[in-house]
Amino acid sequence: MFKDRGLNPNFHIDTPKEKFISEGQTGLSVLDIAIKSGNEKRETENKLKETEEKLKEAEKQSVTDSLTGVKNRYGLEKYINDPSHNKSSTVLAFCDIDDLHNINRKNGESIGDSVIQTVAKFLVESCYKSDSVFRKGGDEFIVAFENISDFNSFNQIISKRFNKDLMLPDAKFTFGLAQFDPKTDKSLWDTIERGSSSMATKKPSSSR
């Protein structure tokens, strides 16, 4: 019959099942192939997860001040550029360390760094989790308080706390507050500018 149709009677095509059995005979069974495939999938998923975690950590480090652990100037820029923070219930508190360069000159930079770290710790402990502390520059900090309904009352409370509780030998501080004003401020950058101008008039002449 095969000869009549021009076919080789010994010719055979493997079915999928027979193909797997053939491969199994060379060392890979159906179960081996399934396990190998599962292991490769898990390995790929683990690598993706590891890459994600590294990217998140890199992003976190990019907005974190290495000396104090609070957010740095880049972190401040990201916060300010987020339009959701441009609301009248957002209040910025400014804290400058006066004469930091003199502290460094008299006592050494390690003491100056200790003062900076102490101020950062105090500011963090004075905030709620929804608030943010930023180190704007060498001796300048900004705290963003959100959901402040009564600015005048808050001004009295926070000013009293800052002036009473933040006491360090040989270190003095200048504080100020500025509230986002939707009528005049296009963004919180304008609020910072107003606050910084006000701070400049309060600081001792030796620190300007």
Tell me: the pLDDT tens digits for 159-178?
A: 888 777 777 767 788 888 99
Which pLDDT does position 126 carry in this prediction? Answer: 83
Which has more pLDDT, 198 or 36?
198
With CA atoms as reference, report the closest residue to 160 among 71, 73, 93, 77. Answer: 93
In Å, what is the CA distance from 97 to each residue of 13, 138, 168, 199?
85, 9, 11, 11
Q: Give the residue-averaged pLDDT of 64-85.
A: 92
Sheet arrangement for strand 91-98: 132-135, 140-145, 91-98, 172-179
Instruction: Indicate whether 21 pLDDT > 50.
Output: no
Instruction: Indicate whether 190 pLDDT > 70.
Output: yes
Give me the residue spans of the domains in the chain: 16-62, 73-207
CA separation for the pair 71, 82 (Å, rounded): 15
Which pLDDT does position 188 carry in this prediction? Answer: 92
Which pLDDT does position 57 carry in this prediction? Answer: 60
Which pLDDT does position 100 carry in this prediction? Answer: 87
How is domain 73-207 classified at the CATH fold level?
Alpha-Beta Plaits (3.30.70)
Which has more pLDDT, 193 or 16?
193
Tell me: the pLDDT tens digits for 115-155?
A: 899 899 989 988 888 899 999 988 999 999 988 989 989 88
Which pLDDT does position 157 carry in this prediction? Answer: 87
- Mean residue pLDDT across the chain: 80
Which pLDDT does position 6 carry in this prediction? Answer: 52
Residue 94 sits at the vertex; the CA angle it makes with 182 and 159, to the nearest 5 degrees, is: 100
Which pLDDT does position 28 carry in this prediction? Answer: 65
Which has more pLDDT, 15 or 127?
127
